[in-house]
Structure 1
Amino acid sequence: MDSQVLVALALSLVGGLSTSIGALFVILNHAPNLKMLGLLQGFAAGLMLSISFLDLAHNALNSIGFLKGNLWFFAGVLFFAFVVSFIPEPTVVARTDENNRQKDDDGSGKDLMRKHRRQVLFSGIITAIVTGISLHNFPEGMAVFLGSIKGLRVGLNLALAIALHNIPEGVAVALPIYFATESKWQAFKLATLSGFAEPLGVIIVAYLFPSSLDPEILEGLLGAVGGVMAFLTLHEMLPLAFDYAGQKQAVKAVFLGMAFMSASLYFLEISLPKEMSL
């Protein structure tokens, strides 16, 4: 297997398996710290925005021209908008209070609770399928693969941003399953499995796009990846960050993420060998 594909697979595994961290938030606590998740989402949103506009879109505009660069960028926006219109992003829901589960001891109350648990379990399994096995995470695997073809710097930064984004996604999968089954293992297992969609996306895209792509097409595709990342950030990550952490704290986290990514772009640029960087 091509070394670039192996690098992309390794990076996508890091990003995909960060859903396991989200599962740990659930099984180690009675309720996840939503404010912390919101701050992580805000920080990841800053990383994504910095990558999208200051790196991927910027390089596409400079390499293939203003018109073509914009066409590729908005093609990525439209593509991911089409994907999410059919595959909704899971959201983190608050657990039912433990006391409410025990306050009704009669048979009807137990039957109602069992029915409620079945409904919640079903929603959790559907969330896991939607998040992991469906096409929702494939564009993220595609982004890491194309970024790795361009250079280790791009692939590494994309993997970092996606990994932070996937932590709340792991919570969204694990939380209803843990509530319904009271099984930490089931919650952790399904949340972890949902993350394998990203390396699967890398494998599929690796067969669709050769590693020796025409430079202009590669720049265009990376511009489209910038559009995908921008849409993901503005449509999903920022609203969640505002909901969980509050607008002021989330905005601070966004700019902190942008500053962190700008610094990482600079230090990776000066530290990596020329053949591994942009």
Structure 2
Amino acid sequence: MNPLLVSSIIGASAGIIGTGLGGMIAFFLDTPSKRLLSTLLSFSSGLMIAVVCFDLLPKSFEIGSFACGIMGIILGVAVIIFCEHLIYRDMESKGKNELLKTGILLTVGIALHNLPEGLAIGSGFTAYESYGLGLSLVIALHDIPEGVAMATPLRAGGMDKLKVFMLTLLSGVPTGLGAFIGYLLGGISPMFISICLAFAGGAMLYITCAELIPESVELYKGRISSLGLLFGVILGIVISSMM
């Protein structure tokens, strides 16, 4: 089979299976209490913070440079604020709630994040097939908590279980596109990958700090929410250490 096609299929599968497995949590959230929702949202926030701070950004600084990383973060925050403005303006006219808006915004952020992961997979296949395969497996595992983080606010906002699950699957598709581009370009510029990773990190960090954490605190003000955040960070560090 064509190596380019293999790289693209494996890349897409890694993203879709990873976020899809995390998105399956939607089927278990029927009528969750505010306490449970707050805990899940704060836990998801902790996962995202750890993935960004202990995986995406350090990798960005290592591949490119500190300046590239900072530039990518600023661009990521700016673009997601612009997307936030467009999404919120559209959904407010339709009377949608805040959790649903947050979930959709997070879906955009994770889809943006999956593109540079695909670039890494495609570039890996141009070097050694075994390296590309190993990287795909690790990225699939790494995407599971992102699927959880995405599905929780969408389901809590009232979106149908199947729609939530389908969205988590679709958010993994950009990994396949990234793998296709990465393989075509072969030794793609490290600076470009660095900026892409930091861009995704900045976008996700903004969504977590500006949306997920405030929503979890508003839902339930007890200590369990803070503990959920801490446990999320710890699990995220463990997952990042596997990368």
Give TM-score scaled by structure 1 length.
Answer: 0.64
Partner of 2:207: 232
Q: 1:184-199 to 2 correspondence within 5 Å?
A: 187-199=160-172
1:140 counterpart SS class: helix
Q: Map Cα deviations across residues 210-268 of structure 1 (whole Å, 9 max, x no partner).
A: 343322211221111111110111122111221234263222222211111212233x2
In structure 2, what residue type is equivalent to 1:85?
Answer: H
Tell me which of 7, 10, 28 is aligned to 2:11. 7
Q: 1:228-267 to 2 correspondence within 5 Å?
A: 228-246=203-221, 248-266=223-241
Q: Flag the structure with larger Rg.
A: 1
Q: Can you give the 5+ residue segments of structure 1 that lack an aligned partner in the other structure?
A: 92-119, 178-186, 270-278
Q: Tell me how far apart the structure 1 counterparts of residues 69 and 195 of structure 2 sit (CA, whole Å).
A: 6
Tell me which of 217, 220, 223 is aligned to 2:192. 217
Identity of counterpart residues, as a percentage?
16
**Stretch deviating more after TM superposition (197-206 or 66-75):** 197-206
> What is the CA-CA distance between 1:84 and the residue it aligns to?
1.3
2:32 counterpart SS class: coil
In structure 2, what residue type is equivalent to 1:64?
Answer: G
Q: 1:55-66 to 2 correspondence within 5 Å?
A: 55-66=55-66
Q: Contact 2:118–2:176 at 8 Å: present in 1 too?
A: no
Q: Map Cα deviations across residues 95-135 of structure 1 (whole Å, 9 max, x no partner).
A: xxxxxxxxxxxxxxxxxxxxxxxxx9x959xx69x967xx8
Partner of 2:110: 140
Q: Contact 1:56–1:223 at 8 Å: present in 2 too?
A: yes
The structure-2 alpha-carbon separation of the partners of 1:17 and 1:34, relative to structure 1 and needing over 3 Å to count, comes to farther
Q: Can you give the 5+ residue segments of structure 2 that lack an aligned partner in the other structure?
A: 121-134
1:88 counterpart SS class: helix
The structure-2 alpha-carbon separation of the partners of 1:200 and 1:263, relative to structure 1 and needing over 3 Å to count, comes to closer
Q: Contact 1:48–1:230 at 8 Å: present in 2 too?
A: yes
Q: Map Cα deviations across residues 162-213 of structure 1 (whole Å, 9 max, x no partner).
A: 111123234245x3x7xxxxxxxxx334333444431344455566x43433
In structure 1, what residue type is equivalent to 2:147?
Answer: A
Partner of 2:129: none
The structure-2 alpha-carbon separation of the partners of 1:42 and 1:172, relative to structure 1 and needing over 3 Å to count, comes to closer
Partner of 1:166: 150
> What is the CA-CA distance between 1:48 and the residue it aligns to?
1.0
Q: Tell me how far apart the structure 1 counterparts of residues 154 and 166 of structure 2 sit (CA, whole Å).
A: 10
The structure-2 alpha-carbon separation of the partners of 1:256 and 1:191, relative to structure 1 and needing over 3 Å to count, comes to closer
The structure-2 alpha-carbon separation of the partners of 1:85 and 1:218, relative to structure 1 and needing over 3 Å to count, comes to same
Task: Provide the aligned C-alpha RMSD in A.
Answer: 3.4
